[in-house]
Chain A
Amino acid sequence: MPLNLLYAVFIFNAIVILGSAICSVTARNLIHAALWMVLSFFSIAILFVFMGIGFFAVIQITIYIGAIAVLILFAIMLTRRSMQEQEDKRLKNVWVALLAVGGVLTVLVMTLRQIPIFGESISTTQVDEMVPALGKALTEPAQYGLLFELASVLLLAALIGAIYLAFDRKKAEGEEK
């Protein structure tokens, strides 16, 4: 009985993920689209809980909902007139978009299938060992340490660049006055 119950919850969650993703794409109101996306992210976190990877579930919420969704909402709300519902926001070239998305999906699935453990079930104890191993691999110089640091330097550069852009414009406006 508990297994069947879990199965039912899983199916329900899967429906929520797909449904909210579809609603996110088709919603007319941009804020609604963003909020549907948040629901979809949240359900994916639940999917991670099902797999027994609490770490990824929490990270999913922190990064995707806490950072990315809030950033998107901020961007939408600060953009002029984007909150008003206009006549037709539907994409003209739906078929081209579908083709592109389908291509990306195929490539992703093909690549993921080549990973040796794809499709195998992993026990919870294995997961508990894998998360620290991931952290060590990311920070160890012999493995991905250099790439990790490069990525952070790139982000720092983007941050400084954004500050510089904002700073310069403010100054120019001040001079005009």
Chain B
Amino acid sequence: MTFWTDPINWVLQILENLLASWGLNHVLSIFIINFLTVVIYCTMILVFVFFLIWLERKLIARMQDRLGPNRVGPWGILQSIPDAIKIFTKEYITPVGVDKVIYNLAPIIVVASVLVVWAIIPVAPRWFAADLNVGVLYIIAVGELGILMVMMAGWSSNNKFALLGAFRTSAQLVSYEIPMALAMLVPVFMARSMSLNTIITNQSVWNIVLAPVAFIIYFLCSLAEVGRAPFDLLEAESEIVAGYHIEYSGLKFGMFFVGDFLHAFTISVLGAVLFLGGWRGPGAEQYPLLGFVYMTVKIILVYMLMMVVRGTLPRLRIDQMMDFTWKVMTPLMMGLLVGMIIIDSLIVGLSPWLRTGAFLAFNVIGAVITLWALGKHTMPKPQEFPLEDLNAS
């Protein structure tokens, strides 16, 4: 076991030997090592969010023909650090009549509910905290905790607008959870397992090739799940002040802010794991660090796609947002899932190439039919838009 073939266990072994040489109890030393690992792992993820915030601001600025942050550090890369210090020094304002315990608990659990997803993400071969055999279900379950915390934050603020914002947010999250969970079922059924490790090792052909429509639906739902443009009507800064976290200030608001970015990042990680083969790539099995590099590239690709969509599309209205999930994505994803299961049972024993071709063809046909039906039935012609109704009301 050397650093190049198994870096994590190599470091852990050294630490364990070190603690043993200090004469510590074996159980206690394992406890200390696990504790340290968790603290370092979570801190690294949170620090990485600083970089992501900078990346997003820079990229969006470039798309909007601005310079973006360019003062602190090379290319402004350290801009997030003074921002964080500034938010530290801000005053905590606790409005009258808030439910103190819930009000203070909500931002913490929002961040925690995103961080615990990282426990099961395989960052590289043999490089993960836990390999749950119910991994995908675990991700969905933890996401539900986030919804609950949003409602708690909105209700405990003792503000009508925060409560309304919480209703809108949880309605959107609950609605988009359904097609998203269905889309996550496609990799599960391809790998015949819910463990993220097995899903990665079974992707000799990436799931995005086998089921591009599922990936697109997953991606769109993930945009809605993290409340990013074009689904950012929940906290549309230019129309309403903020959503459910309107009463939060200082670092408590910062927690929601970090939680948002972390959630977006985590969801692009899951996209890379479920559909882009995770750490798979030439030589990754042998050298985990190489797998880590592949994984990072894939994650950044998905994340950049998210930002490009944010910089390009205008905001949806709430009825469009609801129509889109219930009338388009959920039926499409259900049909796709059933169709793929039927095809899978029909083509048992075919060569991998034919299998891939069959799935791909089914996906493309499904997408074409859906787009044709959508264009024919739901798109209102420009002159049919009821302008008089709007003026009358």
Give the size range of A's interface with the partner.
20 to 34
The CA-CA distance from A58 to B135 in the complex, in Å, is 9
Knowing A35-B152, A58-B134 are in contact, say whether A70-B141 is a contact too (CB < 8 A).
no
Q: Mark B132-170, 1 if CB is under 8 A from A, else 0.
A: 111001101111110110011001000000010001001
Chain A CB within 8 A of B309 CB: no
Contacts of B305 in A (CB 8 A): none
- The secondary-structure label for the interface of chain B is helix
Establish whether residues B155 and A38, one from each chain, have CB atoms under 8 Å apart when the complex forms: no
Task: Please determine whether B141 and A62 come into contact, CB atoms closer than 8 angstroms.
Answer: yes
Distance in angstroms between the alpha carbons of A62 and B140 in the assembled complex: 7
The reply to whether B151 and A54 contact each other, CB–CB distance below 8 Å, is: no
Q: Once the chains bind, are B133 and A128 in contact (CB under 8 Å)?
A: yes
B93 contacts partner chain A, Cβ-Cβ < 8 Å: no
Q: Which of chain B's residues have a CB closer than 8 A to the CB of A1? A: 25, 27
Contact B137 A38, beta carbon cutoff 8 Å:
no
Q: Flag if A54 contacts B134 (CB, 8 Å).
A: yes
Across the interface, name the chain A residue whose C-beta is closest to B163. Answer: A77
- Give complex CA distance A66, B138 in Å: 12
**Which parts of A8-64 form the interface with B (CB within 8 Å)?**
31, 35, 38, 54-55, 58-59, 61-62
Chain B residues with CB below 8 A from A74, complex form: 151, 167, 170
Nearest CB in chain B: distance from A131 CB, A: 9
Is A58 in contact with B137, judged by CB distance below 8 angstroms?
A: yes
Is A70 a contact partner of B133 (Cβ separation < 8 A)? no
> Does A138 touch B at the CB level, under 8 Å?
no
Return A24 CB to nearest CB of chain B, in Å.
Answer: 15
Task: Give every chain A residue within 8 A of B25 (Cβ-Cβ).
Answer: 1
A:50-106 near B, CB below 8 Å? 54-55, 58-59, 61-62, 65-67, 69-70, 73-74, 77
Q: Please tell me which one of the listed residues A55, A58, A66 contacts residue B147 in the complex, with CB atoms under 8 A apart.
A: A66
Q: Do B163 and A70 touch (CB < 8 A)?
A: no
From B132, B144, B152, contact of A61 by CB (8 A): B144
For B145, the closest partner residue in chain A by CB is A65
Q: Which 8 A-B pairs have the closest CB atoms?
A: A66-B144, A61-B141, A62-B141, A58-B137, A58-B141, A58-B134, A58-B138, A55-B134
- In the complex, 18 of the A-B residue pairs with CB atoms within 8 angstroms, ordered by the A residue number, are A1-B27, A31-B99, A35-B152, A38-B148, A54-B134, A55-B133, A58-B137, A59-B137, A61-B142, A62-B144, A66-B147, A70-B144, A70-B148, A70-B151, A70-B170, A70-B174, A74-B170, A77-B167
**Which A residues contact B (CB, under 8 angstroms)?**
1-2, 31, 35, 38, 54-55, 58-59, 61-62, 65-67, 69-70, 73-74, 77, 128
